[in-house]
Chains A and B, each alone.
Chain A
Amino acid sequence: MFLIRKPCQIHSNQLCAPDNTMEKEGICKFKQLFSYLGCFLRKFMFSILSVGPIPDHIAFIMDGNRRFAKKRHLLEGDGHKAGYESLISILNYCYQLGVKYITVYAFSIENFKRQPEEVQLLMDLMVEKIEDLLRNGSIVDKYGMRLYFVGNLGLLSSTVRAAAEKAMQATAHNSRAVLLICVAYTSSNEMVHAVNQAIRKNEFDSVEEEHIEKVPMIKINDIKRHMYMSVAPDPDIVIRSSGETRLSNFLLWQTAYSPLYSPTALWPEISIWHLIWVVLDFQRKYAYLQKKRKQP
């Protein structure tokens, strides 16, 4: 499995030890060969998958970073860093496969109740990684990715909010791939916001009821239009890592018809095999799911 776990962007100086003995050179070349073989196998499998329908939008609940750190006897912060590396891998696989929209549940409003040290650690990590994403040659450049930070951004500190807004502005011209990062987000908060906006903007029709008075006629689309997630279609698939089978207030409205998968692997352990298995199952049920979605 490790052969095709990571995308093949390994440079030779990362594989070889500084003192270039014959034996170490051989090992370096062996590792490089494995890496190229892994890349070839991945591209081969993706081209087979591409014969069938590819999901347009996959949503991930990235659960299990802390448990991963505990399992590997790491510091808690290292679990979240490993989680970020895993996210980059998964983004690579998904965009190479042809998925256009990816949504990740990075930080829930409920997560603010955690220990302040952990919250601060996550906020600092977020700022650091946003800066990494905006550097030249990053995955954002590679796939022409547009970034959206979805949630009640007013709950974030000014530093984090500024970093998020800068990232959204810097990538606003991109359109080949879209990454929606749910931060300071819960679905119920999103719906409250949408209802508030719909009523405030007074865009819905009023109809006369029994010729007495005009009654506001909010429709489903009036609410949908004002959701934070209105910039993307509903997810075709939701994947929650670590084996927990619940939505935890994530995209409750948008996932009404989405299949939910919950592999037992912790988020930093999620691999290309989990993605392939999910996509194969999606393809198997595609015709039935499409029929369900087309019903008004």
Chain B
Amino acid sequence: MLPLRSSVSLEKKLLSFSRNSCPSTITQSLLFPSHGRLVQLKTAVSATGVAHREDDKGVNTGTASTWDLSEPEPLPPGLLRELMPRHVAVVMDGNARWARRRGLPASSGHEAGVQSLRELIELCVKWGIRVLTVFAFSSENWFRPKGEVDFLMGLFERVMESELQNIHRQGVQISTIGDSSKLPKSLQKLLSRAEQYTKDNSQLHMIVAISYSGRSDITQACKRIARKVKDGVICLEDIDEKLIEGELETSFSDFPSPDLLIRTSGELRLSNFLLWQLAYTELFFAQTLWPDFRKTEFVEALHSFQQRQRRYGSRNS
């Protein structure tokens, strides 16, 4: 059995060899004597020698912290990989009703809802979904009873603290959208820390909409455009759809428009969530309450999405 020091020097030699090569994808086989098995590492090594992970478009996404240690998990029967949505958005509705039906306080429903979210994140990572946007708290939710709001803020903090390592280990990048100025200072700091800590991850980009309003998002984009017009950076005639899209809070995302939106609990509304971005999104309204929304229900939503014909206003041939 080779000592660990030898295997590390072997790895360095392989990497130095690849550094002198043209940028390419090199499959490196390394033998880890402590585990006695062959581990396949796929890396794209640039001229700078920093290892990158290639995304589906063949564009380097620039993280050295996540490695594909295994093939993506096979999809459930009936789902086709080429028809999987790239961006899924979720309105997590029904926690309070779930608790009421069981004679429990609303707080129990919200805590149960965390389990569903945890499972959904894992499934998205395993099945290669690139972006997951979750509607955690809307701007209208501030009008709920103070006790419930305070509990939710506390829950967000507790969950973020306890789950951050696990989320980071899965290669999830966290971003937030919404008016964070209304959030407690401690939560603001925590969210900022989480975004910083996970910024180099690329398995899944999770966007948490907290204190978010779709109309306010569009309005703030317009405010920024108005300022640019006032400053002479752009003319009025330059204002088009692309410009507005570029100023929305979701503009940082590779895929700002969701392919599929799931709303649980049977409510048939968007509730002021991602209005601009949902122009051509397929909507799936599930009867299940959020704490009961698990793998089976997610697969059902994906099945429904894959059956649909997306025409974007034109005709199929």
Contacts and interface: CB of A to CB of B under 8 A. Distances in A.
B268 interface: yes
A267 to B, nearest CB: 15
Interface stretch (A24-32, A164-172, A258-266): A258-266
Given A110-B314, A189-B241, A252-B279, A257 B271 contact: yes
Nearest to B277: A252
B298 interface: no
B239 A199 contact: yes
Contacts, number: 115
Chain B interface size, under 10 / 10 to 19 / 20 to 34 / 35 or more: 35 or more
Interface in A197-224: 198-200, 204, 215-220, 223
Given A199-B236, A216-B230, A245-B285, A256 B215 contact: yes
A30 to B, nearest CB: 41
B216 interface: yes
A291 to B, nearest CB: 9
A256 B214 contact: yes
A118 B279 CA distance: 24
Contact of A198 (B140, B222, B279, B312): B222
B224 to A, nearest CB: 9
A199 B225 contact: yes
Given A115-B315, A218-B219, A223-B218, A249 B280 contact: yes
A192 B219 contact: no
Contacts of B276: 188, 191, 252
A218 B223 contact: yes
B284 interface: yes
Contact of B313 (A111, A192, A219, A257): A111
Interface string B261-285: 0000001111110011011111111
Contact of A257 (B143, B272, B285): B272
Q: Which of A118, A198, A249 has most B Cβ within 10 Å? A: A249
Interface string A107-150: 01111011100100000000000000000000000000000000
A200 B236 contact: yes
Given A192-B241, A245-B285, A259 B308 contact: no
Contacts of B230: 216
B279 to A, nearest CB: 4
Contacts of B312: 110, 248
A247 interface: yes
Contacts of A269: none
Q: Which of B222, B229, B284, B314 has most A Cβ within 10 Å? A: B222
A225 interface: no
B283 A245 contact: yes
Given A191-B276, A247-B279, A216 B223 contact: yes
Interface string B213-256: 01110110011011101100000100111001000000000000
Nearest to A249: B279
A296 to B, nearest CB: 9
Nearest to B271: A257
Contact of A108 (B240, B282, B313): B313
Contacts of A223: 218-219, 222
Contacts of A157: none
Given A191-B276, A200-B236, A220-B216, A256 B268 contact: no
A188 B268 CA distance: 22
Given A256-B271, A257-B269, A295-B140, A246 B236 contact: no
B244 to A, nearest CB: 6
Contacts of A115: 315
Given A191-B218, A255-B270, A248 B244 contact: no
A260 B313 contact: no
Contacts of B275: 252-253, 256
A253 B214 CA distance: 8
A187 B245 CA distance: 13
Given A108-B313, A114-B314, A256 B272 contact: yes
A258 B227 contact: no
A91 to B, nearest CB: 23
Given A216-B230, A220-B216, A247 B278 contact: yes
B218 to A, nearest CB: 6
A106 to B, nearest CB: 13
A49 B279 CA distance: 33
Interface in B199-221: 214-216, 218-219
A113 to B, nearest CB: 4
A196 to B, nearest CB: 5
Contact of B215 (A204, A253, A295): A253
A192 B282 contact: no
Interface string B294-317: 000000000000001000111100
Interface of A: 66, 108-111, 113-115, 118, 186-189, 191-192, 195-196, 198-200, 204, 215-220, 223, 244-249, 252-253, 255-261, 292, 295
Query: What 9 A-B pairs are tightest by C-beta distance, nearest first?
Result: A110-B313, A216-B226, A249-B279, A256-B272, A259-B268, A245-B283, A113-B314, A252-B275, A195-B222
Interface of B: 140, 143, 214-216, 218-219, 222-223, 225-227, 229-230, 236, 239-241, 244, 267-272, 275-276, 278-285, 308, 312-315
Given A247-B283, A253-B215, A256-B271, 4 more contacts: A218-B223, A219-B219, A246-B282, A247-B281
